[in-house]
Chain A
Amino acid sequence: MEWFNAVVQGALLGGLYALFAAGLSLIFGVMRLVNIAHGDLIVLAAYLGLSVTLVLGIHPLLALIVVVPAMAVAGYILQRGILNQTLGQDLLPPLLVTFGLSVIIQNALLEIYTADPQKMNAGLLETASVSLGGLSLGVLPLLTFAVAVLVIAGLQWTFYRTALGRAFRAVSDNQDIAQLMGLNRHHIFGLSMALALAVTAIAGILLGIRTSFDPSIGGGRLIFGFEAVIIGGLGNLWGTLAGGVILGVAQTIGAKIDPGWQILSGHLVFLIILAVRPNGLFPRISG
């Protein structure tokens, strides 16, 4: 039963990892941009949430109403102002620029909020739990997982059922032809980054309610996000959710064996899957 409990808790944790990963997966899918600053953007969203909560005196979940649009607008400006200029045949410029961005965000956060760990106060939500067939499940992890499923379903729907999603897929398929069909790729890229950072905002706030955070933890979130994307297979959003769950379960089982093994066992499972299935479990994009 204890082991079963660990698996369920891990799966729920995987929902958070899937939220970390969804934005990465989306922008890589649309414009082949690997965003090294993604983890720091998650942390930035958490700090924004913290400030909004403190200034307005509202519940962290209500802060989403402010932080999600704010991050989306920031994403659009970031993409059109800086990142579009780095995209081309060469993959290196966007890597270097987003790495620089990562350093800038970390140091700015350090300057403004100091290195002290912070946490958002969500009141009862943090400790509330429900009993389910002998298991005691936290409401917050359940909520996080449900949000992850909704976000992934929403992104999937956007991609395959809306005009915007069609534009994303057309640009992803062949940028040059998309231009000749009247698509402004810079605008479409801006919109995809806006959508990615809106998801990042949700991830950041849920992270900030769940655990304490400080400006330096972005790198770790980036790695978890990458691992979830790659385990699931590039370009497959439901695969990303599966990847997050696998990573979460691996970590909680590792922690069950020895508390020090939590992160390590996640990485080990990732490496094993990478060795056996280099394209991930459910790849959509080949090569």
Chain B
Amino acid sequence: MSAFLRLENVCKSFGAVTVADDLSYDLAEGEALGIIGPNGAGKTTMFNLITGTLRPDSGQVHFQGKNLTGLSAARRCRSGLVRSFQVPQPFSGMTVFENAMIAATQAAGLTGNAAERLCLEVLDQTGLLDKANTLAGSLPLLGRKRLELTRALCTRPRLLMLDEIAGGLTEAECTALVGTIRDIHVSGVTIIWIEHVVHALLAVVDRLIVIDFGRKIAEGEPQAIMQSPEVQEIYLGIEVDA
């Protein structure tokens, strides 16, 4: 069987600190997977290992049946996977529209009108259309988070990886964002979402994986996982009475 995304015994450590410890899982096309775990558990590192910013010490990542080991970050992005950043990292000296255009032309391989049309559609979907000519560096936090999402979508991803995109938003902003992400998922994009705002996460994902010290410590149906004593203790830091 060839999974849509497969991590196979991925290991990575920085000196004595292990950030990915024999990490393996499969993801089916069209699935929405949530990742939770304490700070420093290696969740973002896992994204870096998939996108190619970091190389694993051992183990492999397969995407759409292809072994990604040895491919540059740029090639991986063009093959259809993209991530957003917890701390938004726009090209701050360029306008919102130009940021989107980079993704549409370089990653999705579109040109001219087709690229512009995609960018306008996505900007409309993410609610940034009226800010299209604003310099990205002058956007407020919510705008920057939306730009992260916009830019990711303009690559026309098959797999979208979201890194704590709901953090720091108000309740209303968060609800709107969850709606947008659900729409993206329904349109057929496979999603992996790292999030501390658990209720936002549970509104979208079909499956949860819990990571601690770079190890997968639990995996399964979201509600059941959240209620398991092991997760409550390790992730939430609560001693559960026996």
Contacts and interface: CB of A to CB of B under 8 A. Distances in A.
A181 B94 contact: no
Q: Could you tell me the dominant secondary structure of chain A's interface residues?
A: helix
Contacts of A179: 53, 72-74, 77
A70 B111 CA distance: 28
A26 B50 CA distance: 34
B72 to A, nearest CB: 7
Given A166-B101, A167-B102, A180 B91 contact: no
A184 B109 CA distance: 13
Given A179-B73, A181-B77, A182-B103, A170 B155 contact: no
B111 A163 contact: yes
B53 A180 contact: yes
Contacts of B93: 169, 172-173
Interface residues of A, number: 18
Given A166-B98, A169-B94, A182-B155, A177 B89 contact: yes
B91 A182 contact: no
Contacts of A131: none
A166 B105 contact: yes
B106 interface: yes
A39 B82 CA distance: 42
Contacts of B94: 166, 169-170, 173
Nearest to A188: B106
B107 interface: yes
Interface string B100-143: 01110111100100000000000000000000000000000000
A174 interface: yes
Most chain B CB within 10 A, of A163, A172, A174, A180, is at A180
B83 A178 contact: no
B54 to A, nearest CB: 11
B196 interface: no
Contacts of B103: 181-182
Nearest to B108: A182
A183 interface: yes
A51 to B, nearest CB: 39
B92 to A, nearest CB: 7
Contacts of A185: 74
Nearest to A163: B105
Most chain A CB within 10 A, of B85, B91, B111, B155, is at B91
Given A174-B91, A182-B77, 15 more contacts: A169-B91, A170-B91, A170-B94, A172-B93, A173-B91, A178-B106, A179-B53, A179-B77, A180-B53, A181-B107, A181-B155, A182-B74, A183-B74, A183-B106, A184-B72
Interface of A: 163, 166-167, 169-170, 172-174, 176-185
29 contacts: A163-B105, A163-B111, A166-B105, A169-B93, A169-B94, A170-B102, A172-B93, A173-B92, A173-B94, A178-B91, A178-B106, A179-B53, A179-B72, A179-B74, A180-B53, A180-B73, A180-B83, A181-B77, A181-B102, A181-B103, A181-B106, A181-B155, A182-B77, A182-B108, A182-B155, A183-B74, A183-B102, A184-B74, A185-B74
